[in-house]
Structure formats: C-alpha cells, structure tokens
Amino acid sequence: MRTKRAFLLCLVVTAGVTGLCADEGKGRTICFAKGQWQASEWTPVRLIEHESTATLAQKADSVGTGAFTKEERKKRLDNVLLMTDSKATEGEFTVTFRIGKEPGTAPGFFLCPVVKEGVLQKAISIFVADYTMAIWLAEADPASGKTQYTHLVRTATYQDPSVKHVFRCRYSKKRKSVAVRLDENDVLVLRFPDLEMNSLIGIWGCHGTCDFYDITIQEGGTLPWKGTPPEQKP
C-alpha cells in the first residue's frame, strides 16, 4: 500500500503499565515514557485521506513522530492522531511537548472529536509551530476525500523549538466554550454554539518530529473564562 512507507515512522505502541510522572493532587498525570503508560486506554485515529491507521511511535521518554519526507507531506500523510476519553465534559488537560526543528512542524491537540469507524469526521484542532499557535475546525469531506480545515484564530508568537512547552486546554459542554493557553501567554477563549461537545481528547503529530512527554487530565479546570481585576495587597 502506498501509505505503508509513510507509517513506518509511526510504529504501533505496545501496551505498557499505567504510570504517573508525579502526583500533583489534581487529576491524573500520564507519563508517556516507555513502560509508564497504558496504551490500551488510547485509540489511534486516522484522517479520511489515510488508507490505514497508525499511532505515535514509542520513544525513550515520550511518544511522537519522526521526520516525514517531502512526498509524504505532499500526499498529506504527515498526520498521526492518538485519542483517549477524559471521562469529563467539563474538564481540562495539560500537555508537555516539544516542537521539531523541521520547517512547518506543528505538534497538535484535538478535542470533542466525532469519529466514525476510526476516521476523524470533525474536531477542534490546535497546532503549535515555532511561529504561531493556530486553532482550526477540522472536518472530513467525503466528496474530496480530504480533511478540510476552517481557520478560527491564531497567535503571532514565537516558540523556541529547542525547549519543552506546556499547552493547557479547558473545555465546557455547558458553556460550549474552550479556553487555551500556551506556556505563560494570554488565555484565548472560543465559543462553539453549534458543536456538540464531548469528553474525548487527543494528541496529534503533524508535519515533522513531534514529542509528547506527559498529559494531566482533570475535571473542571482553572483556566479563566474571563479577565478579573488583580488582587489588591492589604
């Protein structure tokens, strides 16, 4: 199959044991180091243009992707998704990750996906490159056989590919809203009045080498929905 070579870089992760990077007292932190997480709790998902499903490769201290060839990128075979159920429709997740140095590399995250027979039909997707963080609505188009991306918002900020970054996302079915924050940057809040939000979340390797080290999942959340005055000192 023509996709076989593309996915040799993304080996199926073997099941390990559940492991915690640290007990933070809020939610649960899953460490993606080899042998420290339960792969069976995660589901590989493919895009409509993919002929087969692959998952992120297991590395010593993370999961992720390797570099893709120009041909793989041209055919849009440079996307690998892994999904889990947070068990909460009012929740928050935090991911420690690293951006690869290949031009255009954009590790990503997705939430509230609609998946049919292993194929992503729709999802809120957020990608982080060295030059931006961009939020899109990804939707499978059966007519073209491709995933269509509706651009919603992006930031004009630089992220150093040589260091780890922290992405946080709070989501609320009741509010039909999502709040996201990258490192210590400002919080972005978006509302999705026509989207049926669910408890599914995931990580997404895109365009180049991506590394995901750990994820903390919790009910509720701490990212603010609105700005508040600073606390006054007594």
pLDDT digits (tens, 9 = 90+) for 111-166: 999 999 999 999 999 999 999 999 999 999 999 999 999 999 999 999 999 999 99
- The verdict on residue 227 lying in a domain is no
Please give the pLDDT value at position 202. 98
Please give the pLDDT value at position 231. 81
- The verdict on residue 225 lying in a domain is no
Give Cβ neighbours of residue 186 (< 8 Å, ≥ 6 apart). Answer: none
Cβ neighbours of 234 (radius 10 Å): 3
Number of domains in the chain: 1
Residue 39 region, left (φ>0) first, then alpha (ψ -120 to 50), else beta? alpha
pLDDT, mean over the chain: 90
- Given a cut of 60, is residue 19 above it in pLDDT? no
Predicted TM-score (pTM) of this structure: 0.88
- Given a cut of 80, is residue 23 above it in pLDDT? no
- The verdict on residue 112 lying in a domain is yes
CA of residue 86 relative to chain centroid, distance:
13
| Rounded average pLDDT over 82-102 | 97
- The verdict on residue 234 lying in a domain is no
- The verdict on residue 222 lying in a domain is no
Of residues 212 and 18, the one with the higher pLDDT is 212
- The verdict on residue 224 lying in a domain is no
Please give the pLDDT value at position 234. 63
- The verdict on residue 124 lying in a domain is yes
Please give the pLDDT value at position 233. 63
- Identify the band that residue 74 occupies on the pLDDT scale cut at 50, 70 and 90: confident
- Given a cut of 70, is residue 47 above it in pLDDT? yes
- The verdict on residue 60 lying in a domain is yes
The boundaries of the domain holding residue 187 are 6-217
Domain harbouring 127, CATH code? 2.60.120.560
